[in-house]
Structure formats: C-alpha cells, structure tokens
Amino acid sequence: MSKLCEVLAIVRTNKMLATKKALEDIGLPSFTALKCFGRGRQGGRIEELTYPVSPEIAKKAEEATYNFIPKRLVIAVVPEAMVKKVVETIIKVNQTGQHGDGKIFVLPVENSVRVRTGEEGLEALF
C-alpha cells in the first residue's frame, strides 16, 4: 500500500476560504477544517491578529494571564507523493511575512477506510 500522510495546518481564520479554494484547485476535494485556538512563540499576543479588534477586546487580551488566538486547523490526509504540493500550496496562500502566519505538521498515517464501501488505503482517500 502506498504511504498516506496527514497534513495538519494551523492557519489564520481570514485565510480559510482562500486555503480551501487553493486546495480544491490542486485536486484535493476532501479535507477537514476545525475552529481552534492556538499560540506560537509570541505566546498569543494580540498583535498576531492581522485584523483590528475593539479597544475592550485588546485590553482584555493584554491583561489575560494566558492568551490564545483564534485559528483554523486544516486536516488533509493525502498520498505521500502529494505532500509537497499541499504544503507549498498552503504556504503560498498563507505567507504574509508576519508572525502568526501558521504552522504545518506532516504525520504518517496507518490506513484509511471509506465507511460506505469498505475501501481502504489510497482508494478510500478521494
């Protein structure tokens, strides 16, 4: 069986739509997106948000003892041969050069099974 990989990408909320379109454009119809919160090495400082927030929210965030920034988690299980393209595509859409542009992790996947048919591995992906 060809190897399968899971690409986990944590991206900005305002990049989700463009990320989805770009993944569709490279032939990736199936993936999962979750609303999540995260912090990188800036510890979730408010400047990481690239969109404006009200002074009240900014004050609250500065005073919080812990900080998390709203993010989107994109989960795509793909053939190993597609990983490079998927990673490049996510970078292309999400790289602004500002802190908080996101993080991508690539993990090995043991198997996949399409529940409706019982197909496994590559056949069960798309």
Ligand X SMILES: Nc1ncnc2c1ncn2[C@@H]1O[C@H](COP(=O)(O)OP(=O)(O)OP(=O)(O)O)[C@@H](O)[C@H]1O
- Report the residue from 28, 72, 93, 100 that binds Mg ion according to the rule CB under 5 A: 100
Distance CA 28, CA 90 (A): 12
The Cβ of residue 123 has, within 10 Å, a number of other Cβ atoms equal to 13
Name, in order, each residue with C-beta under 8 angstroms of 11's C-beta and a sequence gap of 6 or more.
19, 71, 72, 74, 90, 94, 102
Which span (24-32, 81-89, 93-101, 115-123) binds ligand X, by CB under 6 A?
93-101
- Report the residue from 5, 100, 124, 125 that binds ligand X according to the rule CB under 6 A: 100
Binding mask 29-68 for ligand X (x = CB under 6 A): ---------xxxxx--------------------------
Phi, psi of 62 (to 5 degrees): -65, -35
Binding site for Mg ion (CB under 5 A): 40, 42, 99-100
